[in-house]
Amino acid sequence: MDLQPTLVGEHVRLAPTTMADSPGLYAAGADRSVWAWLGKRYPESQADMDAQVAEAIADPTRFPFTQFAASGEIAGTTSYYEVDAKHRGIYIGHTWIGAPWQRTALNTEAKLLLMTHAFDTLGALRVGWHTDIRNERSQRAIERLGAQREGVLRHHRFRPDGTIRDTVVYSVTAEEWPAVRDGLAARLSAGSPLRRARA
């Protein structure tokens, strides 16, 4: 079961994260607003980003991908995690995208590539997402993918600032996947409501 293939689309290429990606990730994440709702603090230095990348690669429960824009620039990162082989479930998360690529086709296509691999190759029955209850922008973005809100995990985890986070859970099931896939493909084909990424 290949959980970290290279996945290639028109707007994005997802490749297994390596330490060589760290400088590009540090540059992509330079805008502090990118980190507002993430589980990691803003990396103040390249060494901080190196530590984050090393931690992601070493985590046996996480399968990180680096997101490359069509230009070849590193745009951000995303991961499969909480993979349940027995019950055929998988989560997509630990995702962030640099400010120049936010609300572009890159994110939509990345999610389409990841869901396609999860459902059509790995045989997933359920693909899920977690997001901070305060992060309404993320919730709307997940809903635009076609995912269904399942509920809230109360006092689910700590934020980097030490406050306690409630987490909203979303999912797409195998039965829902064909309609979700077709909807995302249509959005990418139409180019709306997306704007083009930086060349």
Report DSSP letters for 43-74, one per residue.
--SHHHHHHHHHHHHH-TTEEEEEEEETTS-E
152 touches 73 (CB < 8 A): no
8 A C-beta contact, residue 100 and residue 33: no
User: What is the pLDDT, as a whole number, of residue 193?
Assistant: 41
Report pLDDT for 191: 74
Asked whether the beta carbons of 106 and 68 are under 8 A apart, the reply is no
Q: What is the pLDDT of residue 1?
A: 74
Q: Contact, 27 vs 34, CB < 8 A?
A: no
Domain definitions of the chain by residue range: 7-190
Positions of the chain with pLDDT under 70: 192-199
Report helix, strand and coil shares of the chain as percent, to nearest 5: 35, 35, 30
Residue 40 is predicted with a pLDDT of: 94
Distances (CA, A) of 8 to 11, 72, 134, 138, 199: 8, 12, 32, 24, 17
Helices (H) and strands (E) in the chain, counts: 5, 8
Residues 6+ apart with CB under 8 A from 56: 17, 62, 64, 77, 79, 94
Peptide bond preceding 193 in cis form (omega within 30 of 0) = yes
Fold of the domain built from segment(s) 7-190: Aminopeptidase (3.40.630)
Of 113, 117, 141, nearest in space to 129 by CA: 141
Nearest one of 55, 79, 48 to 66, comparing CA atoms: 79
